[in-house]
Structure 1
Amino acid sequence: MLLNLLARFIKSHKVSSLFNINKMSMYDGPIVVVLGATGAGKSKLALDIASRVNGEIINADSMQVYKGLDIVTNKVTPEELKICEHHLIGFLSPLQEYTVIDFQRQALKAIEKIQCRRKLPIICGGTNYYIEAILWKFLTPTNKEQLRIDDTSVRQVDDNSKKELEVLSSTELYEILDKVDPKRALSLHPHDRRKIIRSIEVYRQSGQKHSDILKLQTGDQRIGGPLLFKNACLIYVDCDREILNERINKRVDKMVETGLIDELKLFHEDYNKDRLQSGLQADYERGIFQSIGFKEFHDYLTKEVSDNNERNVLLNESIERMKISTRQYAKYQRKWIRNRIVNRENGLAVYAVDSSDPSIWDKTALFPSLKLLHTALQWGEWVENINKTSDIFKLDELKNIVNIEPMTAESNTDLSPRVKRVCHICNGQIFITDKEWQIHITSKRHKKIQASQKRKLKNTVNILSNHEKQLQKKAKETLTESTANDE
């Protein structure tokens, strides 16, 4: 035991000395980031890479940080957890708040510890905002968030303030933000409750406007902040959209087969049932209850139904809603990666591998990734037994793999000024950028509604005009009759 502790100390001391002698920091070390939509195969690729290049995985999924609910959050299996060390997964109470700043602080600490063990940090997850928080320095903690936390605890939020805000309507919340930080209010959609509440909390906790903090961090860029890890390789696990949608549908079916319903029922009994009996609404805006599944199964979990056929209908409707929500979320993830990471002004190269056909996974995903890591990262002495000349990079299977080119950044990212506009023709829809507004007013739907309202208005004008003519005619006839009677 003593010898093992001594060996670990020497190894850690050796790496720490390397940092000091060469004036290096953890930000100089290599890291790998595995991106992609839900269902694309991120976890599999991260595990395959970690097992071959002495890596450890840091979870970047905001729902997988919570304990329990392994099915609904689609956590890696116990068998997969044995393949390599995992960090920030399944450690937090399901009802506890966890912010992106909590994640940022703990993930950076995990990266440093992994590097001190001379392992490769591999960040993997579908919460792309978390990944942004690691790669770019664009978050400034508020005063309360500057409290030191360790690996097993997180910052306690002011519950009274949180509850006070949560009972307000979106309109009331937006009015509060508009008073304390009008610039931030202008940049947010009035129905984006979570971001509005967050900006109000930043102002209350720090005394600073959230817009001023963001301006300080990003300068004149819409999305910005200095790059933290320049020696990083970003791998995007891509998949044909039709195949991905079908894969998502099958995944949800498998979740149901393996106990999803029972898992949801137990948590509903422990939490939302008491809220409903107290006259409160079910809370799907906090902690793990934001996961796709809870809101979609609300009717099935809460409605008192005695008829089995009706209950089966509710179940099937809930399953279908979960599939739709998951497919929509995958679409959102792909769009976010393109707009916020690939198209970023001060970004890193992003390399795509294809996971559409699992039967040729090694050829289209794993081997291209390994060949990419060989050339994209500066290994030095950072990772034990892994460097440019390691055997893993000399595999015969890698020789015929074509080098991956980085994804091409597009110039159509919406960086237009944020000016809120309301379309009264389309039921008060709100748009917060010039580009969104221009797209909307030239859309077929808007033009169709506009044309319909013009027709209705024209018909109304014609009706009023005819009515006016009739009134004039009647008045003229009345005047004529009156004149005749006088005579």
Structure 2
Amino acid sequence: MMCEPLAPAPVVQPPKKKIVVVMGASGTGKSRLAMDLAGGVSAEIINSDEMKVYKGLEIVTNKIKKEPCNAPFHLLGVADPETEFTAENFVAAATLAVESIVQRGKLPLIAGGSMSFIEALIDDEFQSRYSVCFLWVDVELPVLHQSLSARVDQMVAAGMVEELRAMYSPNADYTKGIRRAIGVRELDAYFRAECSSSAEDKSLKILLESAINEMKVNTCKLANRQVEKIHRLINVKRWNIHRQDATSV
């Protein structure tokens, strides 16, 4: 009697490692949520906010304050502020960080508002290797705009103008590096006038007020663009993004 050959055992794929991505417009509370989440699990946070990758301008870029959170941070204040840190640079650095965190048995938690960085990282190959949970911290735009305007005032009170004055250069290139951050270009006319011996205090005050108002407008425009990009990721790329309404807080 001949025995039938045994069928090959099915190949069991190991479960995908999990990753959490916290996204949203500027000022919605992404960083706070990421730190709160990291406090409840064994996680490490990877910054995905383009301007926060650069060294310097702590106030202008509103860098995350690490003190309340014991989780390690990656890609926060590490890049040369005078060079260009591209989406390709981010993908390379973030991929290494994710692999290192996973190998140590911890949860990678990516948090930031630069959708071009996030989209470049989370491509089809990445999602084939990892199970990604997307959390969108959203705030109704009229409320968010008021909050962003107030935040600019808080930045001014915290020493933003002095911080920018220390790095001001009349020949600066505003097209690359940290000088693309909102606030740098807006205050250029004010600093130029300040350097002029003929400038009057009244005209300087008007220029400063105009620059601060322009910062507020441009920050709100940035938030609008960030929300539009998230909607595109949902409607065009079909990402399964979980919206968390933070308007009330």
Q: Would you say same fold, with TM above 0.5?
A: yes
Once residues 229 and 135 of structure 1 are traced to their aligned partners in structure 2, the CA distance between those partners, rounded to angstroms, is: 10
The alpha-carbon deviation at position 229 of structure 1 amounts to: 5.0
Match of 1:260 among 150, 160, 169: 160
The alpha-carbon deviation at position 23 of structure 1 amounts to: 6.2
| Alignment-derived partner of residue 132 in structure 2 | 232
The alpha-carbon deviation at position 348 of structure 1 amounts to: 2.9
Code of the aligned partner of 1:38 = S
| Alignment-derived partner of residue 353 in structure 1 | 244
The yes-or-no answer on 1:299 pairing with 2:189 is yes
Q: Which has the higher helix share?
A: 1
- CA deviation string 1:171-226 (max 9, x = no partner): xxxxxxxxxxxxxxxxxxxxxxxxxxxxxxxxxxxxxxxxxxxxxxxxxxxxxx88
- CA deviation string 1:36-93 (max 9, x = no partner): 000111101111111101111100011111111111111011414x431100111112
The alpha-carbon deviation at position 334 of structure 1 amounts to: 0.3
Code of the aligned partner of 1:72 = V
Which structure would you say has the larger RCO, counting Cα contacts within 8 Å and 6 or more residues apart?
Answer: 2
Secondary structure of residue in 1 paired with 2:236: coil
The yes-or-no answer on 1:289 pairing with 2:179 is yes
Listed as ranges, the matches of 1:300-379 within 5 Å are 300-303=190-193, 304=196, 306-339=199-232, 341-345=233-237, 347-358=238-249
Once residues 230 and 88 of structure 1 are traced to their aligned partners in structure 2, the CA distance between those partners, rounded to angstroms, is: 20
Q: Structure 1 residues 83, 93: closer, same or farther in 2, change over 3 A?
A: same
Q: Structure 1 residues 228, 318: closer, same or farther in 2, change over 3 A?
A: farther
- CA deviation string 1:445-474 (max 9, x = no partner): xxxxxxxxxxxxxxxxxxxxxxxxxxxxxx
The yes-or-no answer on 1:131 pairing with 2:118 is yes
The yes-or-no answer on 1:118 pairing with 2:118 is no
- Unaligned 5+ segments in structure 2 are 1-11
May I ask how many residue pairs the two structures share in their alignment? 236
Once residues 231 and 248 of structure 2 are traced to their aligned partners in structure 1, the CA distance between those partners, rounded to angstroms, is: 22
Once residues 128 and 37 of structure 2 are traced to their aligned partners in structure 1, the CA distance between those partners, rounded to angstroms, is: 23
The alpha-carbon deviation at position 283 of structure 1 amounts to: 1.4
Once residues 246 and 66 of structure 2 are traced to their aligned partners in structure 1, the CA distance between those partners, rounded to angstroms, is: 23
| Alignment-derived partner of residue 69 in structure 1 | 57
The alpha-carbon deviation at position 242 of structure 1 amounts to: 1.0
Q: Percent identity?
A: 36
The alpha-carbon deviation at position 247 of structure 1 amounts to: 0.3
Secondary structure of residue in 2 paired with 1:97: coil
Secondary structure of residue in 2 paired with 1:95: coil
Once residues 96 and 236 of structure 2 are traced to their aligned partners in structure 1, the CA distance between those partners, rounded to angstroms, is: 25
The alpha-carbon deviation at position 97 of structure 1 amounts to: 1.9
Contact 2:21 2:132 in 1 (8 A): yes
Q: What is the root-mean-square deviation in Å for CA atoms of aligned residues?
A: 1.9
* Larger Rg computed on CA atoms: 1
Code of the aligned partner of 2:217 = I
Taking structure 2 as the reference length, the TM-score comes to 0.89
Once residues 93 and 230 of structure 1 are traced to their aligned partners in structure 2, the CA distance between those partners, rounded to angstroms, is: 30
The yes-or-no answer on 1:86 pairing with 2:73 is yes
Contact 1:66 1:93 in 2 (8 A): yes
Contact 2:19 2:130 in 1 (8 A): no
Contact 1:35 1:234 in 2 (8 A): yes
